[in-house]
Amino acid sequence: MSAPTDATPLPHRVELERHDHVLVIHLDRTDKRNAIDSHMTSALDAALNEADDDPEVRCIILTGGERAFSAGTDLADGAGTPTERGGPYGVIRRSRRTPLIAAVEGIAYGGGFEVVLACDMVVAHRTARFGLPEVARGVIPTCGGLFRGWHSLPVTVAKQMVLTGRPLSAQRAYELGIVNELADDGEVLTTALDLAAQVSENSPLSVAESLTVMNDVLGMPEELGWSRTDEATTTVKSSEDYREGVAAFLEKRSPQWKGR
């Protein structure tokens, strides 16, 4: 007789859906606007590992719900430990040979937008919004938001997003080049699947090699970005403003900044 166990099954945080050579990963925490906790990080990492290791998967789509792609890190519980293969959220620092498309409806804020920046292409609903509101919480973007936006955005717009915390509309993001395709109601995932099909009909080896070279070249200057982000994060997390910002957010009140 086997010994009884008190282990509690992990909550579902993602749902997987296969369309021929395309794997769709649905973020599934709609009651929390797909805020990323440790369980979602683990689930995302496992799903992306599965896709990375399956030669039949030629493209991946990451999507959320109608109200939110993702609101970023769960400030109450944290996003858990970065994973071995994917880094933060299981995706931010992943070396992929399989293209990843973000299909965005609603908001992609904070870490949610940084996940979008870690993808290769973006399809967005016309009412979607992208933002880095960390400074309004007494924290800073830690998952590439301080430098990856410059790959597609003018530097002045990237600075505006970081320093004001105000969101960017999908239309503006499309005009500036972050978003590849805009879609109407009920068409976001369909449009992303069409884009994924265009990728999948090509030589898998040619696609993988091309993506690897492009991401390697883009990643060359990122090491400085990561090291400086780590230094700034250490400074901010030891401050009174950090504690006040998080407390104010959880208590649903305006923060009282001290500047220290």
Q: What are the tens digits of pLDDT across the range 143-199?
A: 999 999 888 899 999 999 999 999 999 999 999 999 999 999 999 999 999 999 999
Whole-number pLDDT of residue 69: 98
What is the band of 1 on the pLDDT scale with cuts at 50, 70, 90?
very low
Whether 92 shows a pLDDT value over 60: the answer reads yes
Q: What is the pTM of this model?
A: 0.90
More confidently predicted of 2 and 172: 172
Which domains, ranges and CATH numbers included, belong to the chain?
14-183 (3.90.226.10)
- The pair of three-digit structure tokens given for residue 12, joined into one six-digit string: 């579902």
114 catalytic residue (yes or no): yes
Catalytic member of 134, 209, 222, 223 = 134
What is the band of 2 on the pLDDT scale with cuts at 50, 70, 90?
very low
15 catalytic residue (yes or no): no
Average pLDDT over residues 81-105: 97
Question: pLDDT of 104-151, one tens digit each?
Answer: 999 999 999 999 999 999 999 999 999 999 999 899 999 999 999 888
What is the band of 10 on the pLDDT scale with cuts at 50, 70, 90?
low
Pairing type for strands 59-63 and 100-104 reads: parallel
Whole-number pLDDT of residue 193: 98
Q: Work out the mean pLDDT of the chain and round it to a whole number.
A: 92
Catalytic member of 15, 56, 105, 114 = 114
What is the band of 5 on the pLDDT scale with cuts at 50, 70, 90?
very low
What is the band of 246 on the pLDDT scale with cuts at 50, 70, 90?
confident
Whether 16 shows a pLDDT value over 70: the answer reads yes
